[in-house]
Structure 1
């Protein structure tokens, strides 16, 4: 799923997975806040009204400070602007965050309606996280991804979706290209090579010219739609951008990469703080680690039971005792996985097979009546060429403030320039059964369906600050839920692939702490990924780099799923025989995707905290 981050005045588009854009959002009230509860008294109503006004200011002023994210979210009043990461710009953002926190602190949160209590706590977490990053973490001083993300997003967010006529978007892109040299100059001014980790420097050095590929992909082919002075200005802006990117490339290659000596590990104290802001979860670091390690053990035991089933009486099968040694367990699971790996789509069959899995998953969800399915199906498209080669598919939805734009389930054909070896490795990982799991996760009843439901909640603030933990957790939850409901129940190898895919989410949470808190070596990380959770080595190598480049985000999938599982268990315990799975799912999805802990508190009438 495309996780689109937005942290107001954070001055980076790459830190917190604070939002996941909703799918086809409904029109929210103008004030951006949830209306007061029906039984609210006079003082509560006054407080809710004051919070509605503050929410509107938060969005209006915050999006103005973050114009690149604003475009992504669907606020297009700032499409010609770009974020200011100069010292003056950062100080302005810090002052604004502190002022907003002070205004929020004047409100009696307990006097708000329960829904607005949730929104107020989400807002506070966002503001405090922004300040923490600006003043303590200081990503602007050591993470060059902050700048590369903004430079690419400045163009991509304008051109990837048809929210306005092409000439209008080209004019906005022209204005932003004119400002890109200043952003890149701010990067060179702000970044201290001694604090920049080597992997970060090398990664951004490879990505830098991607801005030019965006111009070549989106702007140059449409240049004829501008004429006269507008065309001249755009051509000049393109040339200015090319020169600025080349100048920046020389600095990256000649100064930053050779002198990058920073530590990518952020340490326990900062990791705990970052988890607090990026996950907004009820689970602590210690609880996440404990649960993930226990879950990995359980999942491997379940995978072994499937292996016993599919390998029984197979010629040359490994030993399959009921109480296996670790080595016997490993060999049996690997042998069973080979049976699934062998059933791959052909090189030219990936797109058609992914479409088939969407039909199957949609039909099953309907027939089992697991959740209310939207009337309008998700649109299937070919993944844009420059985004291919990382995964088979993703769900791409518009920003919550964009109205009437399509949601896409993008499917990737195999790139034409891939070698047979690359294709073989890729399709072993994304075999037919795993593509079924992927479609459940990305589309039905995962991200696409969740987005349609969640978008109906009327709070604009909650839509803009949607929880990636909720959305990713829901998608992981649905993988197991569908398997438990009998999806491909006559095929144990599907269950094996579902467990393998889930083991990846579990491993992500362990890996994240292992690197940033426990000082893991690459060998330890690769053992977890390749041996313990059966990932292909090519994929594990990429994850090793990703884990260095980020912190906190890899825990999103596991933490969100665990909180969803916990919430369902608590609701089942409360209702007993009256529990209805469809009603439960519809209710969970009706809250607009806040952090999962708030969904549980709202459903179970617990204190909002």
Structure 2
């Protein structure tokens, strides 16, 4: 098992990284230059994973599951050296002109990844300004191998116990490195660190099935728990009083970061203008449906006046009535499983696309220590271990919440909203799309995936499924889908105006609560997220619009020859790549048999 014991070894390996051979054979169909690019990337990836064991785990390589990164500033200089040398070496070692078209796209994806990585490290400096970064190393490094690795359970438990001993050194690096973070980020890190302590004290036994009294975790976790408690005190008493950093990017950095995040698909001002136009359209559609549903829910009350405030009242009251139909905490997971079965049956019956076989998506109840941040998430099978299971986790409200807060949460994520979430997260959204992606022969595309593609596809499927007749007599479901999509549109507006136009908290809350019909609790959580994750919230809207436009264009071009299932498979056949490449690739794929 290869290890990277010191920075010196990393730098020594770099000298031979680009010309050394690998065990990866070239496909018979590859051109020599295509094979050269594949070898170049494999060498980079091998060094990257050796430097960063948690990244290897996330990708599905389990060679380093018992060790963790050295996240000290000195070690991170070597990470940067690797990326810079790779970026400099790419045009020297690979002739772009000699590559096939598919490999030219891979080349551009790799180049963009390297440039974006360096820009973020130089301009955002997450290790200095974002204390949450360190917490992810400590908890994710244990949680992921225990829940997704295909290694034997005993090996995963041993690896997790070995990894626990690295927690104190990561915390020491955090204390050395964190400098004047934004208060809103630090407050989140403080809450998350409390969750990390709970995870090491009890959650780790919940996810692993180990018995606390006899498990090897008991001795291994003790130093980690002590370090985390010390870190908690440091965060609260030393870091928090000095947390006055600026969370806003400012226009110049926002525009550049968004360009990198969207992979050059659309300029920032164009995204904002389109989002504001779409916001008004979706509000109009929601009013039309709410007006139709009014007499069903309020048979003895006249429809409010058809003016701005009356339309908003109509929408809000109808949504509130629909939200009363929600699950109970103890039935949420079982109802989600039944919902997924119905969705899969509809997809097969309507030939929306061919579902992956075998189906490796597990529907689980979110562990207690993870609850309170989101109602659902998908942990996909990693690209280097595609035989692993994907996990679609749904979250009952945290047990410590009072009854009123639980009721508000369940109303926001009512039964109809759970249908939309299951479409988005699992079928035919994230789970299906990423299973297709893991089949792609290009390692570059499997590893360096596009968030715009992944999120855009998931949002596109929400409306598409209803357009094809899923629960077609349920106008309430259509209204909830539009509300969920309006949140996506609002997120793009919020992202831009908070970071580039100095939008105030009150203005942001008004946009979400009054304009997008969100509960105050949901809106406040999104405001916190928007301050901490600049540019990511725009990917959902931009990706959805790219998929929507492409569908309209190709369907119009093909006319009666257009087949939806064949089209969707042609979209997903190319991996999770930047959406700007889809028009040429999908059109070419549709010339071939399904």
- What is residue 54 of structure 1 aligned with on the other side? 40
Counterparts of 1:452-467 in structure 2, within 5 Å, are 452-467=435-450
CA drift at 1:392: 4.1
Q: Is the 8 A contact 2:259 2:265 kept in 1?
A: no
**Which among 186, 189, 212 is matched to residue 197 of structure 2?**
212
- Residue 528 in structure 1 maps to residue 515 in structure 2: no
Q: Residue 264 of structure 1 aligns to a residue in which SS?
A: coil
**Root-mean-square deviation over aligned CA pairs:** 2.6
Equivalent of 1:581 in 546, 564, 570: 564
Contact 1:31 1:55 in 2 (8 A): no
In structure 1, what is the Cα distance between the partners aligned to 2:213 and 2:447? 33
1:108 Cα deviation after fit: 2.8
Distance 1:552 1:271, change over 3 A: same
Give, in whole Å, the separation in 1 of the partners of 2:420 and 2:346: 13
Cα distance change on mapping 1:562 and 1:126 into 2, 3 Å: same
2:171 aligned with 1:184: yes
Partner of 1:126, secondary structure, is: helix
Distance 1:463 1:226 in 2: 41
Determine the structure 1 residue equivalent to 2:113.
Answer: 126
* 2:112 matches 1:117: no
Q: How far apart are the structure 2 equivalents of 1:380 and 1:112?
A: 42
Say which SS state the counterpart of residue 148 (structure 2) adopts: coil
Rate the CA distance shift 1:413–1:143 in 2: closer, same or farther, 3 A: closer
Counterparts of 1:439 and 1:551 in 2: how far apart (Å)? Answer: 26
Distance 2:444 2:293 in 1: 50
2 CA distance for matches of 1:335 and 1:516? Answer: 33
Q: 2:159 aligns with which of 172, 178, 186?
A: 172
> Are 1:32 and 1:52, in contact at CA under 8 Å, matched by a contact in 2?
no
CA deviation after TM superposition for structure 1 residue 318, in Å: 5.3
Aligned to 1:66: 52
2:62 to 76, 81, 84: 76
Per-residue CA distance 1:436-484 (angstroms, 9 max, x = gap): 1111111221122212222221122211112222111111100010111
The counterpart of 2:89, out of the listed 103, 113, 130, is 103
For residue 576 of structure 2, the aligned residue among 572, 593, 599 is: 593
Shift of 1:188: 1.3
Deviation digits for residues 44-74 of structure 1 (CA, Å, limit 9, x no counterpart): x232121011111121111222211211211
| Greater CA drift, 376-385 or 365-374 | 376-385
Q: 1:140 aligns with which of 115, 127, 149?
A: 127
- How far off is 1:183 after superposition? 1.5
- The one of 329, 332, 337 equivalent to 2:311 is 329
Residues 191-340 of structure 1: pairs in structure 2 closer than 5 A: 191-193=178-180, 196-216=181-201, 217-218=203-204, 231=216, 237-312=220-295, 314-315=298-299, 317=301, 319=303, 324-340=306-322
| Cα drift, residue 136 of structure 1 | 2.5
State the shift of 1:132 in Å.
1.0
Q: Is the 8 A contact 1:450 1:471 kept in 2?
A: yes
Check the 8 A contact 1:454/1:590 in 2, yes or no.
yes
Give the number of equivalent residue pairs: 564
Q: Is the 8 A contact 2:145 2:156 kept in 1?
A: yes
Distance 1:154 1:359 in 2: 32
Where do 1:531-542 residues align within 5 Å? 531-542=514-525
TM-score by length of 1: 0.87
Contact 1:514 1:520 in 2 (8 A): yes
Matched, 1:394 2:394: no
Higher relative contact order (CA 8 A, sep 6+): 1
CA distance in 2, matches of 1:441, 1:97: 34
Partners of 1:411 and 1:252 in 2: how far apart?
30
Worse overlay, 556-565 or 212-221: 212-221
Q: CA offset at residue 172 of structure 1?
A: 2.5
Equivalent in the alignment of 1:6: none
Summarize deviations over 1:479-533 as a string: whole Å, max 9, x none. 0101111211111111101100100111111111111111111111101111111
8 A Cα contact 1:373 1:449, kept in partner: yes
CA shift in 2, pair 1:226/1:541, >3 Å: closer
Check whether the contact 2:60–2:149 (CA below 8 A) recurs between aligned residues.
Answer: no
- SS of the counterpart of 1:482? helix
Distance 1:392 1:145, change over 3 A: closer
Contact 1:85 1:183 in 2 (8 A): yes
Deviations 1:201-247 (A, max 9, x none): 111122223333332322597667999xx95xx65542322222222
SS of 1:380's equivalent in the other structure is strand
How many Å separate the matches in 2 of 1:589 and 1:318? 48
Q: 1:312 to 1:184 in 2, by over 3 A?
A: same
What is the SS of the residue equivalent to 2:330?
coil
The separation in 1 between residues aligned to 2:25 and 2:158, in whole angstroms, is 29
Q: Does 1:151 align with 2:134?
A: no
Q: Is the 8 A contact 1:281 1:596 kept in 2?
A: no
The question of 1:87 aligning with 2:69 is answered: no
Tell me: CA distance 1:135–1:423, structure 2 relative to 1, closer, same or farther (3 Å).
closer
1:410 corresponds, among 393, 397, 419, to: 393
Question: Equivalent residue for 2:349?
Answer: 367
Query: Does residue 352 of the first structure (1) align with residue 298 of the second (2)?
Result: no
Q: Tell whether the 8 Å contact from 1:148 to 1:204 is kept in structure 2 after alignment.
A: yes
Which residue in the other structure is 1:4 paired with?
none
SS of 2:71 mapped into structure 1: coil
Tell me if the contact between 2:131 and 2:178 (Cα under 8 Å) persists in the aligned partners. Answer: yes
Structure 2 CA distance for aligned equivalents of residues 351 and 403 of structure 1 = 25
